[in-house]
Amino acid sequence: MSPSPKPLLATLQGQKQPIPPVWLMRQAGRYLPEYRALRAEKGGFLALVNDSEASAEVTLQPIRRFGMDGAILFSDILVVPMALGQDLWFETGEGPRLAPVVQARAALEGLEAAPGALEPVYETVRRVVAALPSGTTFLGFAGSPWTVATYMIAGQGSREQSEARRLAYRDPVLMRDLIDRIETCTIDYLLGQIAAGVEAVQLFDSWSGSLSPVQFEQWVIAPTARIIAALKAKAPQVPVIGFPKGAGGKLPAYARETGVDAVGVDETVDPAWAHVSLPAGLPVQGNLDPLALIAGGVVLDEAVDRILAAFTDRPHVFNLGHGIQQDTPIAHVEQLLARVRGER
């Protein structure tokens, strides 16, 4: 495959760039005044996600403002539970809620699939493709099975994912069956995004850091490997970024065993260690602390420089170690981009 003329896509294909391409997790979101205005007009987050015209506009906002090298689809990982049959809503100031919770066999078997829930996402993709600048890579995404399962089991986010971890020990067969359903839906969902026009996809495993090494192998690495194998069988040209937040010392095993084309590194990982420990030549994405971005000034410049130096000898996508915070100053994002691109 010849390398793409798009810097981000070429990097994910293994081609080191003179200047690392940049995109930021959650770059389409509430730190932007234009996003806040549109969300207020539409009446809430879920209304935005299900409005393809509005979701496409949100996806494009940071591209227009900053000229990012990648556009990340505006959606949510919890559309997969919706497609599997759970009701989803957002409590003001508290976040997502899902019902019924899946903590027993009857609850899982009682779910009635609603694949039509994903159609607005595919329409969003088509709208973005029609409007995206020619040099910008379009990224789709989904939650990885373990992280999605934690929400389906608890009915909401939880700090320690205790309900999911307890279920995995108490009833591993039920947990496996739930993971299998999420895995199958996720494969179909990502292939649908690819068919609609995304050029690369990211698997977010935001809660993988809560698992023991044995459980990490069982509930993170194994399902991720199966998803990637299925995607490669149907869309071998589409790079897959795996982002197992909190994996720490388990990161090299994840990179070796899942088949990812690139691995995302969170802010708790020493980038110099990551460069030495990860497979040679594997593209790496990350890993600026979102709070360093808020701090700005010399702190930000020095943090950016350390990351650039650590990954100078491998394909590198500059990104945050997790999502951008809502109180991030616009000027600090501009400072970050100028620093990475050698403009200051």
**282-303 pLDDT, tens digit each:** 999 999 999 999 999 999 999 9
Token reading at 9: 């896509």
- The domain ranges of the chain are 7-268
Token reading at 186: 């996720």
- Confidence grade of residue 36 (pLDDT, cut at 50, 70, 90): very high
What average pLDDT does the structure give for the chain? 96
Residue 100, preceding peptide bond in cis (omega within 30° of 0): yes
Task: Output the DSSP codes for 157-196.
Answer: --SS-HHHHHHHHH-HHHHHHHHHHHHHHHHHHHHHHHHH
Q: Considering 76, 205, 261, 266, which one is annotated as catalytic? A: 76
Q: Is 341 exposed, middle or buried (0-12, 13-18, 19+ CB in 10 A)?
A: middle
Determine the Cα–Cα distance for residues 106 and 271; give it in Å rounded to an integer.
45
Task: Output the DSSP codes for 120-132.
Answer: HHHHHHHHHHHHS
Length of the chain in residues, anyone? 344
Q: Considering 31, 39, 97, 289, which one is annotated as catalytic? A: 39
The correct answer on CATH 1.20.910.10 for the domain covering 7-268 is no
- Phi and psi of 242, rounded to 5°? -105, 130
Q: Determine whether 270 is an active site residue.
A: no
| 274, 284 Cβ separation under 8 angstroms | yes
Number of other residues whose CB lies within 10 A of the CB of residue 2: 7
Nearest alpha carbon to residue 212 among 134, 160, 261: 160
Average pLDDT over residues 87-116: 92
Token reading at 75: 């959606």
pLDDT reported for residue 2: 67
Q: Is the dihedral of CA 285, 244, 258, 120 positive or negative?
A: negative
Q: 102-142: per-residue pLDDT in tens?
A: 999 999 999 999 989 999 999 999 999 999 999 999 999 99
Q: Considering 31, 35, 122, 151, which one is annotated as catalytic? A: 151
Q: Determine whether 39 is an active site residue.
A: yes
In angstroms, the Cα distances linking 206 to 16, 65, 115, 133, 304 are 27, 27, 24, 30, 23
Q: Considering 30, 65, 176, 341, which one is annotated as catalytic? A: 30
Token reading at 247: 């994996």
Q: 184-227: per-residue pLDDT in tens?
A: 999 999 999 999 999 999 999 999 999 999 999 999 999 999 99
pLDDT reported for residue 233: 98
pLDDT reported for residue 160: 86
- 1, pLDDT greater than 70: no
pLDDT reported for residue 337: 98
pLDDT reported for residue 159: 78
pLDDT reported for residue 93: 74
Q: Considering 26, 165, 226, 339, which one is annotated as catalytic? A: 26
pLDDT reported for residue 344: 58
CA-CA-CA-CA dihedral for 240, 75, 142, 331, to nearest 10 = 50
In angstroms, the Cα distances linking 154 to 40, 110, 150, 159, 229 are 29, 17, 6, 11, 29
Q: Determine whether 181 is an active site residue.
A: no
| 246, 202 Cβ separation under 8 angstroms | no
Q: Determine whether 105 is an active site residue.
A: no
Determine the Cα–Cα distance for residues 179 and 36; give it in Å rounded to an integer.
35
Determine the Cα–Cα distance for residues 210 and 323; give it in Å rounded to an integer.
18
| Site of tokens 């809430």 | 44
Q: Determine whether 30 is an active site residue.
A: yes
Determine the Cα–Cα distance for residues 317 and 39; give it in Å rounded to an integer.
29
| 80, 183 Cβ separation under 8 angstroms | no
